Structure 1
Amino acid sequence: MADKKAYPLRISAAVLEAMQRWADDELRSVNAQIEYVLREALRKSGRLRPGTPRPVADDEADDARS
């Protein structure tokens, strides 16, 4: 699994609420949803190196341990 780093994020309440609804729809945590959205934006803009492994989201790791 890729190393994870903590990063404090300041985000407006409206954006956080929208991310929470989206995460709920996708059955992800808000943290996993934010990482997914960022990763997709990086991939689409060509800023993510090809072959970069997709890290396992926190909620996916919990499922794997069950």
Structure 2
Amino acid sequence: MAAKKSFPLRIDPELHEALERWAGEEFRSVNGHIEYLLRESLKRAGRLPGKKSREEE
């Protein structure tokens, strides 16, 4: 597995609470859920290397 890049993230407390609830419903950590959401957004936008956007499919 490739090493992961660490960096600090400042986030609004209300946004964090909403992410925490959503992540819990999906059985993920907040960090894992943020990574999932970012990856899905990049896929849809066609900006993830090797992936097409849904509009292009």
> Shared topology, TM-score over 0.5?
yes
Of structures 1 and 2, the one with the larger relative CO (CA 8 A, separation 6+) is 1
Cα RMSD of the aligned pairs, angstroms, is: 1.1
State the distance in 2 between where 1:30 and 1:48 align.
21
List alignment gaps of at least 5 residues for structure 2. 52-57
Question: TM-score of the superposition, structure 2-length normalised?
Answer: 0.84
Identity of aligned residues (%): 55
How many residues are matched? 51
Q: Deviations over 1:15-54 (max 9, x none)?
A: 1000000000000000000000000001100110126xxx
List alignment gaps of at least 5 residues for structure 1. 52-66
Stretches of 4+ aligned residues off by more than 6 angstroms: none
Greater Rg, structure 1 or structure 2? Answer: 2
Question: TM-score of the superposition, structure 1-length normalised?
Answer: 0.73
